[in-house]
Structure 1
C-alpha cells in the first residue's frame, strides 16, 4: 500500500505522551495521536517495520517509538512478533481497518475540495464477490454508469462471507447469513440452490434416487472463508434428510468455477437457481430431480456503514440498487 501523503504533522516527529485520564472540559474531541496512527497503519498493512519506514521515509526507530506511544496511549498491544514474523493482535486487527478507512475518507474529501470545477465527483468504492461481479455485477455497474456518468466507481472483489476484511469500501455486496451487525444491510435475494450438472451426467440418474445419484458422482464445492469443507452440501443434505459423505470431491474458490466444471461434465454442483438461471434455461446445466430446490441459509446483501449514509454518492448508489432489485421478480441476467 502506497504512503498516503496526508497533510498531517511530519511522521518523523514523535508526539509527546499525553494523559488519557481527563476528557475535554468543553465536550470537544479527545486528543488523537495522528502521527502514531499513521505509523501504525503503515506497519499494520505491511506487517514490517522496515517496509513501513521506507514508505513513510522515516527511520525504523522513529516508527517504533510512534507505535510504542500508541500502545501506551491505548493500554494494549497492537503488534506482536512471532516465529513466522510480525502479526496483529486482536486489538490491532480491530483498529487497523478503522484507521485505514478514516485516513482514506479524509484524503478523499481533501482531494475533492482541491478539485477544480468540472473535474467530477469523488470516486465511489464498491466491493462485490467474484461470482456476483462476473454474472450480474458488471452489467449492473455499467447500467448505473449510464444513468449517472458523473459518479466514478472503483471496484474491488474478494471471495468470502460478510464484509471484506481490511478493505476500505463505501458499499459492499456481501454473501452471508442473515444477522444483526453494525452495517446497514439491504437484502437483494436469498439463495435457493439445487443439484445441477451437465446433461450427460444427468442421464446417469435413470433408476436412481437423489441420494444414490449424489453418492455415484463427484461433488463440486465452493470454498467459504471461515467455514468447514463442504458447508453448503452439508446444509443441503441435512435439509433433505440425505445421508451421504460430503467431505469429498473438488472445491473451488468461486461458484462460477464450480459451475464451469459442472458444465464440462466434471460433477454435480449446488447451483444458485437465480444467479445461474440462463445456464439452466439454455440446457448447459440441468437438474436431474424435480422439487429438489432448498434454501441455503445464505443471501446477497448490499451493506453500508451508517456513518456513510449521509454521503450523496453512497446514498445514490444504495437507493438505485435497492430500487433495481425491488422491481425485478428474479436476479437480472
Structure 2
C-alpha cells in the first residue's frame, strides 16, 4: 500500500522509490503484488509515463488518507500524548468571516475537548489537501462524499445608502451601467463570472469586464459600504447589514444562479464521534435559519 501510494503521489516508480529509499524494482514488485491481489491494474504504463486506471483513482485517495491517519496515530502513541487529533475543516473565506466565526466560537465553548484546524480558500468546489470536512461554494454535483446542502445562495445588487441616492430613479440596467461593479474573484474562474451569470438571468445588457475585484465577498462588501460601488452579494449572509441600513438593496431583483453552500464529509469518517457531532452542529445551525452576528474585527 505504501509503495502504491508513493508511486501514485509522484506518478513515477523512480521518484516513489527515492521517496521510500528502496529500489525501483522493489517498488514495481510491491505494486504488481497489489494488482494481483485486486485482480485489476492500478496504473497504465505507456511511453508518456504513468496514468492511474479507474481502480487506481478510486484507491489512491483512500490509501493516502489511511496511511496519514496511521502515521498520526503512531506519532501520538510514541509521544505518549493522550489527545485527539484536530478536525481539519475548510470554510470559504466570506462565510467564515461573516457566519462561521461565531459558530466555531460557540462550538468550542460547548465542546472544548474537540480541537479544530480551520483552513480557507476562495474557489468553487473542494480544495486540494487532506480534510476531514469541507463547506464548499459550488453548484449541485455528484461525487463520493456525503454531501449536505446547507443553503442555496440568493444574490442581489447591494450598495451604500449614498450610492443608492446618487443613482436614484434610474432603472436597474442604467443603475448598474453607471455605477462601478465590484467583483469577487474565484480561483480558476473568469473575473466577472458572478455578475455575468446574474446579468444573463435577469436579462440585462451589462459590461461586466470593468470594476474593482476582490479575493473575498467580505472585502467587496466592506468596500461597497465604505467607498462606493455596487456588489453582487449574498442577501442572507448580509441580512443584518441590510436591516441596519448599512447596505441598501435598490431593486427587488434577487438572483439564484444555482450556487449554494454544501457540507462534504467522507463516509468512513462518520464513525468518528467528533466528526459526527460537528456535522450535526453545523446542519442544525443552518436549518434553523439563524444568522450569527459577525465577530468584531479590528480595522
- Check whether TM > 0.5: yes
Aligned mates of 2:249, 2:180 — CA distance in 1: 15
From the two aligned structures, give the one with the greater helix fraction.
2
Task: Choose which of 121, 138, 154 in structure 2 pairs with 1:192.
Answer: 154
Which gives a bigger RCO, structure 1 or 2 (Cα 8 Å, sep 6+)? 2
- Alpha-carbon shift at residue 146 of structure 1 (Å): 1.0
Instruction: Assess, with a 3 A threshold, how the Cα gap between structure 1 residues 65 and 331 changes in structure 2: closer, same or farther.
Output: farther
Q: Which runs of 4+ in 1 moved over 6 A?
A: 88-93
> Could you tell me the TM-score, scaled by structure 1's length?
0.73
- Alpha-carbon shift at residue 74 of structure 1 (Å): 3.2
- Alpha-carbon shift at residue 297 of structure 1 (Å): 1.4
Task: Choose which of 126, 137, 140 in structure 2 pairs with 1:178.
Answer: 140
Task: Choose which of 210, 214, 218 in structure 1 pairs with 2:172.
Answer: 210
Unpaired stretches in structure 1, ≥5 consecutive residues:
1-31, 82-87
Unpaired stretches in structure 2, ≥5 consecutive residues:
36-40, 294-299
- Alpha-carbon shift at residue 164 of structure 1 (Å): 1.2
Aligned mates of 2:29, 2:225 — CA distance in 1: 55
- Alpha-carbon shift at residue 35 of structure 1 (Å): 3.4
* TM alignment of 1:92-171, pairs within 5 A: 97-111=61-75, 116=80, 119-165=82-128, 167-171=129-133
**What residue is the counterpart of 1:75 in the other structure?**
43
- Alpha-carbon RMSD: 3.3
Is the contact made by 2:5 and 2:64 (CA closer than 8 Å) also made in structure 1?
A: no
- Alpha-carbon shift at residue 208 of structure 1 (Å): 0.8
Instruction: Assess, with a 3 A threshold, how the Cα gap between structure 1 residues 39 and 222 changes in structure 2: closer, same or farther.
Output: same
- Tell me, what secondary structure is at the counterpart of 2:259? strand
Instruction: Assess, with a 3 A threshold, how the Cα gap between structure 1 residues 306 and 320 changes in structure 2: closer, same or farther.
Output: same
Aligned mates of 2:125, 2:272 — CA distance in 1: 22
User: How many correspondences in the alignment?
Assistant: 282
Aligned mates of 1:135, 1:116 — CA distance in 2: 39
Instruction: Assess, with a 3 A threshold, how the Cα gap between structure 1 residues 64 and 136 changes in structure 2: closer, same or farther.
Output: farther
- Alpha-carbon shift at residue 330 of structure 1 (Å): 4.1
- Tell me, what secondary structure is at the counterpart of 1:214? helix
